[in-house]
């Protein structure tokens, strides 16, 4: 009940009502978002923060919800917190809060020895895009594209089934940033 009221107050205070249905708040009444398990809150496409973000005009509310979740759950390990800071940053970038997004993205860098998938180059490229630094964006793209595929790469899903993955990960997103340079993150993520 408290979470529902918090959500309604948050959306009303920030003016985050859906433009298609002005009376509907961004958060679903009766849903205790903060009580959800991490996987449901963060990784389920039609639940948690993603449910909120999928509503018209509610990406800023989704960012605030992610922040609230990650700051109130002391049981989250650093990997989960990093994922959540990334997702919060993406939502902030979607609504043009680029400075806040960059600060969050900078907290997701991995130790070099733990970055065989080029995550840090992807972070560099994303930050360069948001800061409109074309030279740094192209350099990060070049570094990511040159990353050798591990010889023992064997990606599987949670059930152990093989998963096809383009190599290197996130290069297509970075290529969209290059192609859409000068546009907003919202226009560029996924192609302009």
Rounded to the nearest 5 degrees, what angle is found at the Cα of 69, between the Cα atoms of 63 and 77?
115
Mean pLDDT of the chain: 88
Contact predicate 117/168, CB 8 Å: yes
CA distance 77 to 185: 28
pLDDT score of 76 more than 90: yes
Phi, psi (deg, nearest 5) at residue 156: -135, 160
pLDDT given for residue 105 in this prediction: 98
What percentage of residues in the chain have a pLDDT greater than 70?
Answer: 88
Phi, psi (deg, nearest 5) at residue 169: -60, 145
CA distance 155 to 153: 6
Mean pLDDT of 31-37: 97
Q: What is the DSSP-derived secondary structure letter of residue 22?
A: T
CA-based nearest residue to 7, from 40, 50, 52, 74: 52
User: Token digits for 46?
Assistant: 């039609």
pLDDT given for residue 25 in this prediction: 85
Mean pLDDT of 46-61: 97
Q: pLDDT tens for residues 106-135?
A: 999 999 999 989 999 999 999 999 999 999
CA-based nearest residue to 129, from 83, 192, 71: 192
SS3 162: strand
CA distances from residue 124 to 2, 35, 69, 83, 143 in whole angstroms, order as listed: 39, 33, 26, 16, 10
CA distance 157 to 57: 32
Residue spans per domain, the chain = 1-108, 121-150+163-192
| Distance, C-alpha 102 to centroid of its chain | 12
Q: Exposed (0-12), middle (13-18) or buried (19+): which is 32, by Cβ within 10 Å?
A: exposed
Phi, psi (deg, nearest 5) at residue 162: -60, 145
């Amino acid at each position: 009940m408290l979470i529902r009221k918090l959500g309604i107050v948050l959306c009303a205070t920030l003016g985050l009502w859906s433009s298609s249905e002005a009376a509907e708040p961004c958060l679903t009444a009766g849903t205790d978002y903060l009580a959800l398990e991490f996987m449901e809150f963060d990784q389920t496409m039609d639940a948690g923060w993603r449910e909120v973000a999928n509503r018209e005009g509610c990406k800023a509310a989704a960012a605030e919800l992610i922040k609230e979740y990650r700051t109130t759950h002391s049981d989250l390990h650093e990997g989960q917190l990093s994922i959540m800071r990334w997702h919060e940053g993406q939502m902030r970038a979607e609504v043009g809060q680029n400075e806040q997004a960059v600060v969050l993205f900078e907290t997701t860098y991995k130790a070099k020895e733990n970055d065989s998938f080029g995550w840090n180059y992807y972070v560099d490229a994303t930050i360069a895009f948001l800061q409109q630094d074309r030279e740094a964006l192209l350099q990060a793209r070049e570094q990511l594209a040159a990353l050798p595929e591990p010889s023992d790469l064997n990606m599987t899903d949670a059930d152990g089934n093989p998963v096809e993955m383009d190599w290197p990960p996130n290069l297509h997103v970075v290529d969209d940033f290059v192609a859409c340079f000068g546009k907003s993150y919202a226009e560029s993520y996924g192609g302009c």
